[in-house]
């Protein structure tokens, strides 16, 4: 199985995520400079409850911020857009899906970037294929 073997630490997950972001094509790439990546072992209980997820293994990543189309020039003083990546659930999902950790990180990053742009699931699949 390709998902087994070396389990990347948080720093390596962040490096993989930054590499995935770097492969995102234009016109999307030019809007990602201010997105902050945060790698955590698991989502906190409050986040899971807010998302309606029962298991701490059930959330791989989460985008926090307004989609590009919802932003206004009047927005100021808020936190930057953030992508949270949850290391342990992503690694478990990689094993379950029989993919490498890098492939899973890429999948989650592209999916969360899709939320940043307000894309549909179909659009996200096309974006992911172009970022592979």
SS (H, E, C) 109-130: HHHHHHHHCCCCHHHHHHHHHH
Q: Quick count: other Cβ atoms within 10 Å of Cβ 6?
A: 8
Task: Give me 1's structure tokens.
Answer: 């199985």
Q: Which two tokens stand for residue 22?
A: 């770097």
Q: What pLDDT score does 106 carry?
A: 93
Residue 93 has pLDDT above 50, yes or no: yes
Domains of the chain: 10-65+79-131 (3.30.2010.20)
Cα–Cα nearest to 62, from 92, 96, 87: 87
pLDDT (tens digit per residue) in 33-71: 778 999 999 999 999 999 999 999 999 999 887 655 554
Give me the pLDDT at residue 114, please. 83
For the whole model, what pTM was predicted?
0.81
Which sign, positive or negative, has the C-alpha torsion 109, 112, 118, 124?
A: positive
């Amino acid at each position: 199985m390709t998902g087994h073997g070396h389990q990347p630490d948080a720093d390596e997950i962040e490096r993989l995520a930054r590499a995935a972001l770097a492969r995102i094509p234009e016109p999307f790439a030019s809007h990602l400079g201010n997105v902050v990546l945060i790698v955590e072992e698991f989502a906190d209980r409050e986040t899971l409850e807010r998302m309606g997820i029962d298991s701490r293994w059930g959330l791989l990543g989460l985008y926090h911020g307004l989609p590009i189309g919802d932003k206004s020039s009047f927005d100021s003083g808020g936190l930057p857009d953030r992508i949270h990546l949850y290391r342990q659930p992503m690694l478990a999902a990689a094993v379950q899906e029989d993919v490498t950790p890098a492939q899973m990180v890429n999948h989650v990053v592209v999916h969360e970037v899709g939320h940043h742009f307000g894309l549909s699931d179909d659009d996200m699949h096309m974006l992911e294929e172009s970022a592979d």
